[in-house]
């Protein structure tokens, strides 16, 4: 089979991608996860009975949170997995589908760094095919890296740190032709929901979509990541997850936020407006060479001398992310859209830099 041929995925083919030891693994099962119904007396887990809000273990499957997400995203909760941040889900996927010391994953730098870290932790080859200078996908070069060892293709759209959404036709072609699992990271999708592949999840049995409550939902400190996939793939994730991977407080805070999506949307709208304002103001500065188009809550900005600008901002207590070491991101800083007064302070500092 060539990299241009569409693969017809069956449940059996997906099962063949899973490491045999994971397929046969008997998951840890607590009495709390085995019990069905409403418990009135809990004497199963050696917890303290003195109520302080966190004396009981959390729901191992975060059922209420998954149901709320499923209602908002129109996805069966049985096709949703929650993680202690998306980082944990990246590790799950790598462990489920990659044999240590044998298999490989593919990614398109500059992109989320945890794909490479998870590969390294799991003794899996990490193959990088750099995005083009405009941060689009070099399709032919990428397909040339497909072989019988490549088990996972990491796609990120909108991409971090470039801020652009990838061409949906290109992504669809890659999902249909990649000989393994494709993971589409939609961490920033709340800023451009129309670009999500989630409504098309049923079309692609080999597709996993990850999202997060860290960005648009404003809950980075709670560490709640989401994976959407077939029931079989979600079952494999449940098999390897720690018993209580999403804590009580995170579940409670996530559920409260999910019950008020209009609050999230209002904040997202504010940040989009601030991102656009930043782009306009930055474009007038002499130290700025180019501002890459973005559909997220941040901008990738190429400066005349990013190192000098970066240090100048640090000296004034302003922290941005240096991306100059990344492929095709020379002299680039990633700037998050903050509150209006924070953005004003950033712009004032950069005008001061220009005036030196």
Mean pLDDT (10-residue bins), the chain, 356 residues = 79 95 89 72 91 94 97 98 97 98 98 96 98 98 97 98 98 98 98 97 97 97 98 97 95 98 98 98 98 98 98 98 97 98 98 96
Output the pLDDT for position 40: 83
Report the alpha-carbon distance of residue 258 to residue 263 in Å, rounded: 9
* Locus of tokens 């200078």: 133
Domains recognised in the chain with CATH numbers: 11-259 (3.40.640.10), 262-354 (3.90.1150.10)
- pTM attached to this predicted model: 0.95
Output the pLDDT for position 44: 87
Q: DSSP readout, 41-63?
A: ---SS----S-SSSSSPPPTT-H
Q: Which helix (H) or strand (E) holds 154?
A: strand 150-156
What are phi and psi for residue 184, nearest 5 degrees? -105, 110
Q: Which helix (H) or strand (E) holds 290?
A: strand 288-291
Output the pLDDT for position 31: 67
Question: For residue 21, how many C-alpha atoms fall within 13 Å in the half-sphere facing its CB?
Answer: 5
Output the pLDDT for position 3: 65
**Burial class for 56, CB neighbours closer than 10 Å (0-12, 13-18, 19+):** middle
Report the alpha-carbon distance of residue 95 to residue 20 in Å, rounded: 11
């Amino acid at each position: 089979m060539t990299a241009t041929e569409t693969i017809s995925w069956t449940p059996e083919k997906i099962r063949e991608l899973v490491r045999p030891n994971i397929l046969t693994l008997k998951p840890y099962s607590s009495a709390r996860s085995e019990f069905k119904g409403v418990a009135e007396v809990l004497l199963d887990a050696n917890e303290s009975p003195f109520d302080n809000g966190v004396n009981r273990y959390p729901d191992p499957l975060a059922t209420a949170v998954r149901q709320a997400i499923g209602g908002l995203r129109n996805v069966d909760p049985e096709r949703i997995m929650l993680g202690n941040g998306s980082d944990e889900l990246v590790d799950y996927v790598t462990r489920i589908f990659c044999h240590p010391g044998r298999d490989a994953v593919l990614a398109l730098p500059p992109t989320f760094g945890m794909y490479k870290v998870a590969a390294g932790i799991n003794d899996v080859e990490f193959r990088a095919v750099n995005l083009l200078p405009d941060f689009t996908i070099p399709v032919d070069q990428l397909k040339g890296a497909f072989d019988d060892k490549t088990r996972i293709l990491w796609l990120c759209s909108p991409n971090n740190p470039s801020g652009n959404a990838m061409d949906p036709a290109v992504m669809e072609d890659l999902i249909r032709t990649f000989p393994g699992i494709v993971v589409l990271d939609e961490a920033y999708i709340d800023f451009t929901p129309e670009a999500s592949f989630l409504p098309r999840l049923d079309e692609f049995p080999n597709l996993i979509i990850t999202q997060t409550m860290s960005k648009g939902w404003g809950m980075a400190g709670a560490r709640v990541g989401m994976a959407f996939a077939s029931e079989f793939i979600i079952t494999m994730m449940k098999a390897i997850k720690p018993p209580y991977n999403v804590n009580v407080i995170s579940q409670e805070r996530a559920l409260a936020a999910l019950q008020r999506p209009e609050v999230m949307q209002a904040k997202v709208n504010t940040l989009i407006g601030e991102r656009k304002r930043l782009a306009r103001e930055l474009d007038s500065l002499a130290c700025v060479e180019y501002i890459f188009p973005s559909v997220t809550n941040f901008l990738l900005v190429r400066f005349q001398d990013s190192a000098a600008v970066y240090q100048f901002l640090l000296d004034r207590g302003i922290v941005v992310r240096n991306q100059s070491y990344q492929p095709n991101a020379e002299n680039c800083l990633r700037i998050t859209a903050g509150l209006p007064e924070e953005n004003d302070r950033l712009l004032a500092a950069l005008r001061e830099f220009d005036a030196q």
